[in-house]
């Protein structure tokens, strides 16, 4: 893999990831843009009752929303039209978000374009290209985790207007948070309690249970296993784990990296077949869950800097557990519950965070096995 770093016209960083060492990426951004600022309207506040960190980013109200295909800012710069990507073609490209949810110095938000083809999807990528995306995710995790203010790195893809995507081009994002997220803090707390009570690792026991019961296993290879979780929140939800527990993408070994594109691409193709012929592409969120950068004491860097508003107190006060106990995994889910019907987060979910799932996990797993590639 070759990585080429450059700067956009407003000073934001852009990185090309190419499979060939000889790739040349020297096209300059010829747009006239005002210098990127530290986004002063972005702030992180802490909810005093829940301990949750909330990003306030009013400048995002003006971000690009559902442009026509011939005005897509994520396509390559071609035929006289200048975009966020100066090159006339690319394989995988990563750049700082023009409308970040987190401001510089208190986090970082990046966009990951998987392909120059506006009409493609992650599921349509070749295994080689999917492997290059994995390499880019890993490289960005390493670099962002090294920043002094970053506590957690989150790679994810939102796909489909139903999810809230405002740009149709195949892309994902990476958030480098200045705190440990509430969801990860809960996982670490549960892991610590399970370890204290049983002496065993919780992630290992979760995967072990699914492999033993088999009813919710969807897809498995030599190095990865995918299953619908026992208490799935969403109508169709799959968790993908490496068989060898690791805390983050950096710790995946060569065989797991080689097999990942085969498993993941098949899983995405099955998601598009869930609702039968004639159904539009399935909207989904694909989210990598990685261990915090600084271990269990989330927010340490922010406390030292005096930025207490950015600290997740639940993460700071929970039972201690080594980050090596965390299990890297990808969570894939859709908000569609049936053809033409969406799962809305209404009173119980939004008001009390108690999910009500209309599709039994065993039924969802059966359907996902049923639509396997021939």
Contact 42, 88 (CB under 8 A): no
Q: Is 59 a catalytic residue?
A: no
Q: How many angstroms separate the CA atoms of 111 and 229, rounded?
A: 29
Catalytic residue among 66, 118, 149, 171: 171
Burial class (CB in 10 A: 0-12, 13-18, 19+), 207: buried
* Pair of tokens at residue 3: 């990585």
Contact 74, 64 (CB under 8 A): no
Beta strands in 182-280 (DSSP E): 217-220, 224-227, 236-242
Q: How many angstroms separate the CA atoms of 237 and 348, rounded?
A: 19
Which candidate, 145, 180, 174, places its Cα nearest to that of 51?
180
Burial class (CB in 10 A: 0-12, 13-18, 19+), 233: middle
Q: Tell me the β-bridge partners of 334.
A: 236
Q: Tell me the β-bridge partners of 18.
A: 2
Which CB contacts under 8 angstroms, 24+ apart, belong to 349-357?
355/233, 355/234, 357/232, 357/233, 357/234, 357/235
Just list the catalytic residues. 171
């Amino acid at each position: 893999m070759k990585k080429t770093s450059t700067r956009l016209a407003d000073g934001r960083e852009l990185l090309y990831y190419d499979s060939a060492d000889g790739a040349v990426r020297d096209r300059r951004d010829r747009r006239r843009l005002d210098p990127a600022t530290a986004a002063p309207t972005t702030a992180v506040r802490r909810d005093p009752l829940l301990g949750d960190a909330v990003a306030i980013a009013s400048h995002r109200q003006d971000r690009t929303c559902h442009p026509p295909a011939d005005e897509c800012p994520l396509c390559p710069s071609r035929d006289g039209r200048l975009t966020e990507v100066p090159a006339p073609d690319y394989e995988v490209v990563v750049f700082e978000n023009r409308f970040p949810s987190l401001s510089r110095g208190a986090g970082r938000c990046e966009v990951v374009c998987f392909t120059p083809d506006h009409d493609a999807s992650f599921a349509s990528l070749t295994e080689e290209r999917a492997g290059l995306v994995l390499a880019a995710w890993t490289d960005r995790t390493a670099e962002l985790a090294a920043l002094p203010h970053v506590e957690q790195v989150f790679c994810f893809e939102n796909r489909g207007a139903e999810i809230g995507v405002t740009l149709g081009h195949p892309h994902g994002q990476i958030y480098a948070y200045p705190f440990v997220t509430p969801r990860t803090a809960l996982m670490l707390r549960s892991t610590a309690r399970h370890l204290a009570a049983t002496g065993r690792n919780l992630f290992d026991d979760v995967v072990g249970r699914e492999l033993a019961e088999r009813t919710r296993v969807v897809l498995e290879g030599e190095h990865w296993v995918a299953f619908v979780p026992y208490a799935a929140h969403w109508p169709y939800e799959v968790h993908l784990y490496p068989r060898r527990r690791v805390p983050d993408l950096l710790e995946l070994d060569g065989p797991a990296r080689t097999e990942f594109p085969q498993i993941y691409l098949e899983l995405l193709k099955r998601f598009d077949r869930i609702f039968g012929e004639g159904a539009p592409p399935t909207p989904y969120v694909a989210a990598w869950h990685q261990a915090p950068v600084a271990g269990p004491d989330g927010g340490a860097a922010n406390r030292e800097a005096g930025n207490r508003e950015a600290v997740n107190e639940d993460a700071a006060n929970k039972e201690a557990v080594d980050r090596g106990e965390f299990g890297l995994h990808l969570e894939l889910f859709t908000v569609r519950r049936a053809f033409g019907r969406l799962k809305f987060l209404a009173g119980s979910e939004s008001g009390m965070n108690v999910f009500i799932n209309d599709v039994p996990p065993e039924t969802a797993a059966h359907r996902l096995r049923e639509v396997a590639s021939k």
